[in-house]
Structures are given as C-alpha cells and as structure tokens.
Amino acid sequence: MAGDRLFGLGGKLAAVIGAGSGIGQAVALGCARQGATVRCLDVDVDAATETAETIAANGDAADAGLLDVTDARSVDDALDGVVERHLGLDIIVCTPGVNVRKLILDYTDADFDKVVGLNLKGSFNVLRAAGRIMTARGRGSIILFSSIRAQVVEPGQSVYASTKAGIVQLVRTAAAEFGPSGVRVNAVGPGVVETPLTAPIQEDPDWHGAYAAKSVFNRWATADEMVGPTVFLASDAASFVTGTLLMADGGWTAVDGRFEPSF
C-alpha cells in the first residue's frame, strides 16, 4: 500500500450524516479534501446543501440530501438513494447528538425519549441500514460518534452518558457481526468540542474554563480536530481496526486530577 495513499479516500463514496453543521460539517469537508465523493446528509437539508456547495466550490465532488436519524424509513430511503445515485457506499459517518442536562430526579419521560431516540436509536437506525448495504457489498467502514461520557460522567449527564456508552456496545457488536463480510465498525470519542451543541457551555466562562482545564492542552477542541481521527478510521490505514472507540479528548480520560507534586 503506497504511503501517499494510506490515509487517502480517493475513489470512495462517503455519506456524512449531520453534515450541515459542527463536527459533521467539518468531517464532510475533510473527507472531500482526502479525495472522497461526499453525500452530505442532514435533517436540515438546506444546511447540508450549503456544505455540499462549499465542497463543490473547492473543486471536489459532493451533493446533499435529507436524512432524519430518528426515522428508520428516512434512513433507509436516504442510504438506498446514495447507492442508487452513486452506485456504491464505502464510508458512512453518523455525527448527530442531543443532550438534556438534568438531574435524574428531574428527568421527564419526554426528556428521556428525546435523548435516547436521537442518540441511541438514531445511531442504531444508521448502523442497521448501513450494515445491510455494506455487508451485501462485502466492504465498507461505518463510524459512529460516542463521547468521553461513555467512560466518565458528571451530574446531569445520566441519559446522555448512557446513550454514548450504548453506542460503543452497538459498535462492538456490529463489528463482530459485520466483520466476516468485510465491513469495519468503529466510534470516535470526542471530549469537549466547539460546536452548536456546546454553545451554552461556551457562553459560561466558569463552565468553559473548567472543561478546558480537563484537557492536558488546557483548551477545547475545534470541530476540525475530529476530522483526522474520522478520516483515519475511514481510510485503508485502519484496514485492521474494528470494534474500537478512538478517543479524541485531549487526554481528558487519561489523566487523573491536575495536582502536580514536587519531585
């Protein structure tokens, strides 16, 4: 395998869900830069179209479409449409997520259903639809988005953390089930990233600073910094990588505390 093509995505078709903003938008742009033809999918089709137009303006190939991860039929139709239009589907990346920050005793049934329905059931809908297509084709890479909250929690994160841990187990099971057909399944685990989802935290200086201090770099990640881990998992460089959670958290889950003793 030539070194200059190890991380390249030339000749591949990548469907990026959540491409209208945040990490999904950054990943769509990043896949295009690495040579993939990108299908930008989002519940906000206008936003997805803007991302596709940005890619096309840079001279790369992209188009856009509607996909609502909470609706299994929408997922099936959108991914079948990708295959029909592009005659293939090599990579699928699913980035959407939602959080309702409340203590367990304050959580309502509606709050629970909202978070589980999008994060966990939505990821399952994508995994099932992509797996059906890719196992039949005998190849492909599926990348879901988990979080540091799959491993560490704080008050108010019960349901969100449960869904992110659940995504990891979905990934592991799918890797076992799809692997014999040549399909790889992995997850990226971001720490705190500057996206619309985290805007309320970024607006609170104390909260923003506390999270920045959890990284060994003393800062938040940008959405662009999630592109490299995702492209790696999508590329032939990760040809023997499946069933894994790749942490991209600035050391958050590796370092226990911030006190530095004298030596």
Cα–Cα separations (whole angstroms), residue 80 to 86, 239, 262: 10, 25, 60
Query: Which amino acid type is present at position 13?
Result: L
Q: Which of 124, 145, 160, 252 is catalytic?
A: 160
Q: Report the C-alpha gap between 207 and 222 in whole angstroms.
A: 17
211 is known as an active-site residue: no
d(CA 94, CA 191): 17
Exposed / middle / buried, residue 107 (Cβ in 10 Å: 0-12, 13-18, 19+): middle
Residue 212: what residue type?
Answer: A
In terms of DSSP H, where are the helices of 9-157? 22-33, 45-57, 72-86, 109-115, 122-137
Those residues whose C-beta lies under 8 Å from the C-beta of residue 160, and which sit 6 or more positions away, are: 99, 100, 101, 115, 119, 147, 149
* Helix axes 45-57 and 22-33, enclosed angle (nearest 10): 30
CB-based contact 141:234 (threshold 8 Å):
yes
Closest CA to 196 of 80, 12, 70, 22: 22
Catalytic residue IDs? 160
